[in-house]
Structure 1
Amino acid sequence: MKLSILDQVPISKGMTSTEALANSVKIAQLGDKLGYERMWFAEHHNMTSLASSAPEITAAYVAAKTERIRVGTGGIMMMHYSPLKIAEVFKTLAALAPGRIDFGAGRAPGGDGLAMTALASGRRPEMNEQYDKLEIILRLMNEQQTGEAVYDAVVAAPFKIQLPQAWLLGSSGQSARQAGAAGVGYSFAQFFNGQMSKGIFDAYRNAFQPSYFMEKPEIITTYAVCVAETEEEAEYLSMPMQIARLNLMRGKLTQGISPEEAKDYPLTEMDKMILQQNRSLMLVGSAKEVAERILYEQEYYGFDEAMINSNLYTVEQRLNSYQLLAEQLIK
């Protein structure tokens, strides 16, 4: 099956942002070698635990450091930027790396209220009409009229190039029909809330209209994964990821701690209950166990590609996780 990577560029405790970004290059180069389909970079703001605030720049650098793997955003947060600027950025990327760039767009802010306001230069953030903005971006990319004078008076350069693939992100199913109607791929964030369903994917396929960007419906499901040589080791290595999610639910954005620290992390009974509830949002185990689960869910739900997010403590642990999973799933 097609296997891909979602990178949030995590900054573990004691690591610098420069090291975190260098780790992303290492992971991209391994993915390139192993046959991963694509690598996307998320967009997050006002965080000291993630170094992915400008995914389009990271994607450009990684595309230059790899040979085959597709590179893109998962996703660029549309509310913060002009449709013309987004179209120009991704057309430039596509011209620099023809046939290898993905424009993955999201409707979320990617940060807290303070970040949203700062990105809007102190004005009220534009949170509404994101689907309309996506349509304008796609039309500008494809050098079509938008129906709005402010955009129809300009050209999104560079002109007449091979355009990127386009994808719309979602985590609840709300965007499924809109992605289909727009003729773009649909990327479902299973690791957000675990609400994947046949109904969501059927709604996308039933609404799908072929476009320049996608000839037929394509669905990616993104999982949070920790894979190791044994189930016991994977459980041990996954605890920093589980505690990071717990802290996120509390509104605390902490850098990843080591498995040793996680083992002795002070947990209340309520914390333990929440960890148990959240456990289903992660796939943890040996490569064989996790691969079998992904293949089963692919057959049951009918998605086309699995994207893996593995925010383990060290880059060596992350590389090993991607390596082991590729050995099981990439044929």
Structure 2
Amino acid sequence: MKLSILDQAPITKGNTAAGALIKAEELAVLGDELGYERMWMAEHHGTSAYASSAPEITAAHLAAKTKNIRIGTGGVMMMHYSPLKLAEVFKTLSAFAPGRIDFGMGRAPGGDQFSIYALSEGRPPMVHNMYEKFDTALQLINDEVPENELYNRTIATPSNIVLPESWLLGSSGNSAVEAGRRGAGYSFAQFFNGQLSKPILDAYKNNFEPSAFMEKPEITVSYMVTAADTKEEAEFEAKPQDIWRLQFMKGRSGQLLTPEEAQDFPLTEMDRIKIHEGRKLHLVGSAKEVAAQLQDEQIKYGFDEAMICSIPHSQQARLNVYKLLAKELF
């Protein structure tokens, strides 16, 4: 099974935002050494929980620090940016790291309403033309003249670069057919709401048309994972993430607790039920157990690659998740 990395540059309690970005670099270097397929940086705004607000900038740094692993965004939230700027950014990245850059786009805002309006300088955000914007960016990246009149009298430089792979993100299935029709890869965020289904992925495959960016359909599925040598260790490390999700659902997001603090966190019976139900969103167990679960999911749904997001409190525990899974699945 191909494995990849999704990183949000998490700022766990007692750590700093700058430190979270350095840890992203450490993770990229490890992933490169272990043979992971790609590493993507997410985009989050207006939060003290994550430091990944400018994934395209971090991607440039990570590409310079690695040799073989593909580097990209999972994703850049295109509602905030001009297609011309998107094209220029990713063409520049690809010029520096040809054959290793992924142009990963998402339709979500990546932040709350205050962040959305600040990014649009107070103007109502444009949310009605996402697929048109994606089309225009792809045309500009491919040195084509866009159909959109606003962009057909300029070019996106640098020209004549090795094309990045293009990917469209989704968490409900709405983007599956659209990704296929555009010859883009499809990345499903299973950790977001757990609604992955075979019909969603089949709809993508059945509508796929080869493009300059991708010759055949490619599917990644992103999972939140906490793995360790034993299930008991994994449960200990996973509890802060489980509590963070509970708090987020109640509108109380913040930094992740330490595992020790999480053990003493007061939970109601309903909280415990929700944590148990959330195991389809958060895979927890020994490395062997998690690896077997990922293999079962791949057989059931028919995807190509599992993308792992893992947020134990300590960097040592986090890196160990990726080492253990590589040992089991490579």
- Name the residue aligned to 1:287: 287
Aligned to 2:233: 233
What's the counterpart of residue 77 of structure 2?
A: 77
- The answer on 1:255 being equivalent to 2:251 is no
Q: Which residue of 1 aligns with 2:311?
A: 311
Q: Which residue of 1 aligns with 2:125?
A: 125
Cα distance between partner residues in 2 of 1:289 and 1:279: 13
For residues 54-203 of structure 1, what are the structure 2 equivalents within 5 Å? 54-203=54-203
Amino acid at match of 1:68: N
Counterpart secondary structure, 1:265: coil
Q: Distance in 2 between matches of 1:207 and 1:251?
A: 38
Q: For 2:325, what is the secondary structure of its paired residue?
A: helix
Distance in structure 1 (CA, Å) of the matches to 2:75 and 2:157: 21
SS in structure 1 of the partner of residue 51 of structure 2: coil
Q: Give the superposed CA RMSD.
A: 0.8
More deviation in 142-151 or 313-322?
142-151
1:276 Cα offset (Å): 2.1
Q: CA deviation at 1:257?
A: 0.8
The AA in structure 2 aligned to 1:184 is A
Give the deviation of 1:149 after TM superposition.
Answer: 2.1
TM-score (norm 2): 0.99
Other structure's SS at 2:47 match: coil
- In the alignment, the residues of structure 2 paired with residue 214 and residue 201 of structure 1 have an alpha-carbon distance, to the nearest angstrom, of 16
Counterpart AA for 2:297: E
Deviation at 1:325, TM superposition (A): 0.4
Matches of 2:2 and 2:277 in 1, distance apart? 29
Tell me how far 1:279 sits from its aligned partner: 2.4
Deviation at 1:312, TM superposition (A): 1.0
| 2:274 paired residue number | 274
Where does the alignment leave 5 or more consecutive residues of structure 1 unmatched? none
Aligned residue number for residue 214 of structure 1 = 214
Letter in 2 for 1:49: A
Counterpart residue number, 1:15:
15
CA distance in 2, matches of 1:64, 1:19: 18
Letter in 2 for 1:116: I
Give, in whole Å, the separation in 2 of the partners of 1:304 and 1:298: 7
Matches of 1:279 and 1:228 in 2, distance apart?
Answer: 16
Aligned-residue offset at 1:273: 2.4
Q: Which amino acid aligns with 1:202?
A: D
Cα deviation 1:234-265 (Å, max 9, x = unaligned): 01110011111111111222111111100100
TM-score under structure 1 length normalisation: 0.98
Instruction: Give the residue type in structure 1 aligned to 2:183.
Output: G
* Residue of structure 2 in register with 1:24 after alignment: 24
Tell me the amino acid that sits aligned with residue 241 of structure 1. Answer: Q
What's the secondary structure of 2:196's corresponding residue?
coil
Structure 1 partner of 2:52: 52
Residue type of the partner of 1:86? L
Provide the C-alpha distance between the structure 1 equivalents of 2:306 and 2:67, rounded to a whole number of angstroms. Answer: 21
